[in-house]
A = this chain, B = another copy of it.
Amino acid sequence: MRILVCNDDGIYSPGIAALADVAAAFGTVQVVAPNAEQSAMGQAITASRPLSYRPTPAVGPSAYRVNGTPADCVTLGAHNWGKVDIVLSGCNLGFNVGNAVWHSGTLAAAKQAALLGIRGIAFSAPASVEKYDALKPWMHRVLETLLPQQGLKLVNVNLPEEPRGMIWTRISVRQYEGLIVPTKDPKGRELYWFSATPLEAAPEGTERWAVEQHRISMSPLCLDLTGHRQLGALRADHPLDEELARTVSPPKSSPEAAKKVAQEEASAAAGPQHP
């Protein structure tokens, strides 16, 4: 099995070394990670400049660093290696639970794998972990549990210190509170830190609750962001031109129409589009 290991803390993080060590028991490992810390980068991709991909023997014989985001590393690593069976991302220095699922670069690497049709698993541990040795047997056990489940395309794993068991969990979707902390620069000009104060305890069954209770949390994630229930209700209660569209449009667009839209995308392929 070909295992690509990525992260968002950068190729020199001790967390990625721990994950690569554990992964080596399950297959051939290649490390492809950012050349600098990329925390909270979300699923940013770099389309406005070309990326470099450089061997990094200080990390290992099969280690490459990329001057880009975690999602860039996965895309470029998968392309250059030819065939990848699974992407493992982490182990992140800090939990990724709740809203962090949207922002996290660690998760973004696993999500990017999923968009490429490759399984992706993200690992996160407490920010204060200094030695990963105690967590390695647990990371091994997580892989033993998840790898045989071929249908699990995208999983978010959080490991507490001194785990007491392992459970399947859902994401705790909660709104933020107390996000902005004003500050000043030495000249007295106003600036603003993005921060978040500790929130109330999370409900049972969520990943946050799991790590609060010292369980290893494993959350299966979906790949389709459509709000399907809402979509059904809207089509039933507030129909627009769906009927018309179904009647006069082909169920599949012509190649010309598809190509034209592809040229007009913002997206992946593009980078800045200003005139």
Identify 6 residue pairs between A and B in the complex whose beta-carbon atoms are under 8 Å apart, listed by A's number: A99-B115, A116-B179, A165-B240, A168-B240, A197-B262, A204-B252
For A149, list chain B residues within 8 Å (CB).
Answer: 234, 238
8 A Cβ contacts from A139-187 to B: 145, 149, 151-152, 154, 165-171, 173, 175-176, 179-181, 183, 185-187
A97: chain B residues within 8 A (beta carbon): 261, 265, 267
A38 and B54 CA atoms in complex are apart in Å by 16
- How far is B166's CA from A167's CA once the two chains are assembled, in angstroms? 44
Residues of chain B within 8 A of A265, CB atoms compared: 94-97, 100, 127
Partner of A39, one of B165, B211, B271: B271
Return chain B residues, CB-CB under 8 Å to A55: 275
Copies in the complex: 4
A166 to chain B, nearest CB (A): 5
Chain A interface residue count, Cβ-Cβ cutoff 8 angstroms: 151
Residue of B nearest to A213 (CB): B249
As a 0/1 sequence over residues 81 to 119 of chain A, the CB contacts with chain B under 8 angstroms (1 = contact) are 000000000001111111111111010100100011100
**What are the interface flags for A30-69 relative to B under an 8 Å C-beta threshold, 1 for contact and 0 otherwise?**
0000011101111111111111111101100000000101
Please tell me if A133 contacts chain B, counting CB pairs below 8 Å: no
Q: Top 8 A-B pairs ranked by shortest CB distance? A: A94-B266, A42-B42, A165-B241, A49-B49, A198-B262, A36-B36, A126-B264, A50-B191
A34 CB to closest chain B CB (Å) equals 9
Q: Complex Cα distance A170/B257, Å?
A: 18
Q: How far is the CA of A154 from the CA of B231 in the complex (A)?
A: 12
Contact B262 A171 (CB under 8 A): no
Residues of B contacting A223 with CB < 8 Å? 173
Beta-carbon nearest neighbor of A17 in chain B: B58
**How many angstroms from the CA of A102 to the CA of B101 in the assembled complex?**
12
Q: Give the CA-CA distance A180 to B50 in the complex, in Å.
A: 10
A67 and B208 contact, CB distance less than 8 A: no
